[in-house]
Structure 1
Amino acid sequence: MIHYFNPGHETAVKNASPYYTAPANIVTMQRELSFLPAWYSKQVDLVLVSSLDNYEYFNYLNNIFPALPKPISNIDMESQQGSDISLWGISPQAIYIFRELCHKYDLKLNIPEWKDEYTYLNSRNAARDCLNKLTDEISDISKDIIPHFFTNVEDIEKAVDDSPYKVLSKAPYSSSGRGLLWLPESGLTRTERQILHGTLKKQGSVSLERALNKQIDFAMEFLSDGKGNVTFAGYSLFYTNSKGGYEANYIGTQSSIEKILTTKISADLLSEVKESLIKILQEKYATLYKGCIGVDMMIYKETETYRLHPCLEINMRYNMGYLAIKIFENYISETSQGKFYIDFSAKEGIIEKKHIEMLEKYPIIFDKEKISKGYLSLCPIDKKNHYRAYILIEEN
């Protein structure tokens, strides 16, 4: 199997064109972090990377982790006749890229097919419908958190004015903190109206939902086999900034994450939500899609009570949470913990400088062929890098 990293997947789905061109920052991220799928893939797999120029880095990884999948470039694809293609996220654009490779190198590859149902399943509308079912089935989930969709600014403005709560708007096709807009209780300003008009023009609608007093961000990760079956892959605990943008993922045991979650809400509630979600995902996704499904959740505080939001968004793709789970399972000592980070700098040279500094400050230490302590970049880095994906591990 050959894996391919294509971030910004939801926007490509909404655009629907095989010729879609992602924003420049997404193109840069895709190029510089193209090796990321290696960290959740199997030893026999390959990862299509933008360049094999950094031989030193890939040789180093091969020495310390012989079971890590190997990188492959476009020009080496001729030797991969009949291979299965696994996309980070399925979109018409990503499918077209591999069809063009097949044409260019006279290849026969097993490429995922686009299904019209994917447009809905990748949207916040699908997450809203899933949340509706959960609130019907589980009494501990409040119906006050269900989002409502609007197609014009006038209706949005009225809803904000009538709401007893502070309101948050979201673009239907967005994730990882993008497409979020906190709306002022005093009424929309010209800036908010312009942003909302722009989103409505591009995506047709926006959702409004109650802004919650967030305490913990986490997700349940699932795997669909495409034949109607969904299995639970684990919990992922992640961290966001004040605007809801993704910052990092926790790397550690599943029991450590469960312990953190159950200091606020009951293990029974988590189990009930998990079982309900498996049934819902099997019904809506599992016969149409094969791959990872991440359901983002939140523990929030209401007066003096901790409550659960069980379905903020559904990511029909591989994601950083699933990546963090597999990194810990395969490459980290069970007596250690840490974080997985995505770092960005607009200026060239900064990322490489930080990388060199951290190599010296946090040398990597192994225990029984697994990392017990230290810093590791998950993708090659040079002086031109703007992005960096890395882990920083410490002993418990």
Structure 2
Amino acid sequence: MISRLFLFNPTNELAIANGQVSYMPPANLRRFESDLASLPWILSDEDDYILVTHKEGNSLKHLSDYGWKIPSIVTAPEEIPEKVRLIFSPWGWSPAVYIKFKRFYHLAAPTWHTHPLARWSANSAQLLSRETGYALLKEIELIRRNYPDKYSQVEIPYLPVEVSSTAKLSEEFQKTEPPALIKTQWSASGRGLFKIRDKKDNPAESDWIKGMLKRQGKLFIEQMLPKIQDVSFQFMIDDEIEYVGHNYFYTDPSGQFAGCAIGPPENSSSYFKDQAQISAALKQGAEIVREGLIRTEINKNYKGPAGVDGIFFINKQKEMKLQPCLEINLRYNMGLANIRLKKRIHPEARGAWKTGLFKQEKWQSFCKKKTQANPPVFEKGILRKGFLPMVSPDAEKLFGAWLDAE
């Protein structure tokens, strides 16, 4: 039997930047990984496994009580039958992740040894950096220019600018019209960003920017666009590149991930009312991103999930357009998780699922209060509406994840 062994390590980009197999995230991010360690159940099948540091607090019994088939939570290889062979599936790859899986290598499936990331190499870090996303964006722009009528809803107003010295950074800053972003090579989910809100935000004077430039070797300056709605295009990359769907998501004011929409997003913009235009843009976005991925020949060096983040924005002509590739995440991501989750939710349900920090209000009391106010309703194993904790509601957590559907 072939099963997957999942590991929730959303700090993998930080681990890549650090480069050490012994990398340990900051305390608050360690707690985030620990509190949400069981979250890959969304991506898993019943025969899969999720590796956690400790089982306490990571029970998924509240989900199995509703009749949902869920994977097994394990802490050691002895908990997996000897007949099982594993495909290793971390949230994201880094030099540090192999140490986590090392104890399970004797259970590896034969196909694992041919996986492009079965071993970490110098090329792996480059592959998983922002440079891959920018290479993809250039291919997409070439396609768009060659077929402007076919991709009429796609627009790429600016290409990112690479800087590798403080002198170049200062030079490009003088030519940049705020608002803009400076992005590090390895970062995701709204981390590793420096916002240029006005000309007072000089990145060349920032100690954080100087440190990142020294450690990572280069940075990227990217013009910010007037956002209407965040969207991602999700793919599974193997010998073929399969498009699996799009996802609407939300970010907080700092740009960090805040949640995913179930059904249409909550968006009051008058630009976001024309469903025919939105459908056309999504179709064009999915097609042009997939064609760009094919042209980069990414499947020669990577196999696994890929999420490409885009944005609906207002262009200079006051029209809504789609920029389909702000970045690519060669890893599991919340967008793919949301697409998988929708298979367990009634197609008419509307709402969002979110992650959040619980300091003032306790996670357990939050779950109890929300469940009483909006109890979950199931129809033949499908969630029709209600509040549903995505991780154990019976453990005290600093970070939680939950679904609210109507």
Give the TM-score normalised by structure 2.
0.86
Q: In the aligned structure 2, how far is the partner of 1:190 from the partner of 1:124?
A: 19
Counterpart for residue 135 of structure 1: 141
Counterpart for residue 219 of structure 1: 232
The 1:365/1:78 distance shift into structure 2, 3 A limit, reads closer
Q: Determine if contact 2:289/2:325 at 8 Å carries over to the other structure.
A: no
Say which SS state the counterpart of residue 286 (structure 1) adopts: helix
| Corresponding pairs, count | 382
Question: Aligned to 1:206, which of 219, 225, 238?
Answer: 219
Q: In the aligned structure 2, how far is the partner of 1:334 from the partner of 1:272?
A: 24
Q: In the aligned structure 1, how far is the partner of 2:273 from the partner of 2:11?
A: 29
The 1:154/1:232 distance shift into structure 2, 3 A limit, reads same
Q: In the aligned structure 2, how far is the partner of 1:182 from the partner of 1:130?
A: 23
Counterpart for residue 65 of structure 1: 67
Tell me how far 1:319 sits from its aligned partner.
Answer: 0.5
Q: In the aligned structure 1, how far is the partner of 2:203 from the partner of 2:229?
A: 32
Say which SS state the counterpart of residue 18 (structure 1) adopts: coil
Counterpart for residue 119 of structure 1: 125
**Residue type matched to 2:108 in 1?**
L
Tell me how far 1:24 sits from its aligned partner.
Answer: 1.4
Tell me how far 1:267 sits from its aligned partner.
Answer: 4.0
| Deviation per residue, 1:337-375 (Å, 9 max, x gap) | 22110011346x622221221122111111222111111
Tell me how far 1:15 sits from its aligned partner.
Answer: 2.2
Counterpart for residue 108 of structure 1: 107
**Residue type matched to 2:369 in 1?**
E
The 1:383/1:368 distance shift into structure 2, 3 A limit, reads closer
Q: Determine if contact 1:167/1:208 at 8 Å carries over to the other structure.
A: yes
Counterpart for residue 376 of structure 2: 364
Q: Determine if contact 1:145/1:309 at 8 Å carries over to the other structure.
A: no
Tell me how far 1:86 sits from its aligned partner.
Answer: 1.4
Structure 1: gaps of 5 or more residues? none
Counterpart for residue 261 of structure 2: 250
Q: Determine if contact 2:133/2:325 at 8 Å carries over to the other structure.
A: yes
The 1:60/1:308 distance shift into structure 2, 3 A limit, reads closer
Counterpart for residue 16 of structure 1: 19
Tell me how far 1:156 sits from its aligned partner.
Answer: 1.6
Q: Determine if contact 1:160/1:185 at 8 Å carries over to the other structure.
A: no
Tell me how far 1:291 sits from its aligned partner.
Answer: 1.5
The 1:248/1:261 distance shift into structure 2, 3 A limit, reads farther
Question: Aligned to 1:152, which of 165, 169, 190?
Answer: 165
More deviation, 180-189/28-37 = 180-189
Q: In the aligned structure 2, how far is the partner of 1:248 from the partner of 1:188?
A: 28
Q: In the aligned structure 2, how far is the partner of 1:356 from the partner of 1:47?
A: 26
Tell me how far 1:120 sits from its aligned partner.
Answer: 1.9
Q: In the aligned structure 2, how far is the partner of 1:48 from the partner of 1:253?
A: 33
Counterpart for residue 149 of structure 2: none
Tell me how far 1:123 sits from its aligned partner.
Answer: 1.4
Tell me how far 1:187 sits from its aligned partner.
Answer: 4.1
More deviation, 9-18/242-251 = 9-18
Matches within 5 A, 1:169-208: 169-189=182-202, 193-208=206-221
**Residue type matched to 2:254 in 1?**
K
Matches within 5 A, 1:230-309: 230-252=241-263, 263=275, 265=277, 267-282=279-294, 283-303=296-316, 304-309=318-323
Tell me how far 1:276 sits from its aligned partner.
Answer: 2.9
Tell me how far 1:284 sits from its aligned partner.
Answer: 3.3
Matched, 1:315 2:329: yes
Say which SS state the counterpart of residue 332 (structure 2) adopts: coil
Tell me how far 1:60 sits from its aligned partner.
Answer: 3.1
The 1:381/1:60 distance shift into structure 2, 3 A limit, reads closer
Counterpart for residue 354 of structure 1: 366
Give the TM-score normalised by structure 1.
0.88
Q: In the aligned structure 1, how far is the partner of 2:368 from the partner of 2:95?
A: 38
Counterpart for residue 26 of structure 1: 29
Tell me how far 1:41 sits from its aligned partner.
Answer: 1.3
Structure 2: gaps of 5 or more residues? 113-117, 146-151
Q: Determine if contact 1:160/1:187 at 8 Å carries over to the other structure.
A: no
Q: In the aligned structure 1, how far is the partner of 2:69 from the partner of 2:104?
A: 28
Tell me how far 1:215 sits from its aligned partner.
Answer: 0.7
Counterpart for residue 52 of structure 1: 55
The 1:381/1:268 distance shift into structure 2, 3 A limit, reads closer
Q: Determine if contact 1:153/1:196 at 8 Å carries over to the other structure.
A: no
**Residue type matched to 1:318 in 2?**
Y
- CA-atom RMSD in angstroms: 2.7
Tell me how far 1:285 sits from its aligned partner.
Answer: 2.2
Tell me how far 1:301 sits from its aligned partner.
Answer: 0.7
The 1:47/1:94 distance shift into structure 2, 3 A limit, reads same
Say which SS state the counterpart of residue 178 (structure 1) adopts: coil
Q: In the aligned structure 2, how far is the partner of 1:270 from the partner of 1:3?
A: 30
The 1:24/1:384 distance shift into structure 2, 3 A limit, reads same
Q: Determine if contact 1:264/1:299 at 8 Å carries over to the other structure.
A: no
Overall identity of the aligned pairs, in %:
24
**Residue type matched to 1:61 in 2?**
L
Q: Determine if contact 2:35/2:57 at 8 Å carries over to the other structure.
A: no
Say which SS state the counterpart of residue 79 (structure 1) adopts: coil
Tell me how far 1:275 sits from its aligned partner.
Answer: 2.4
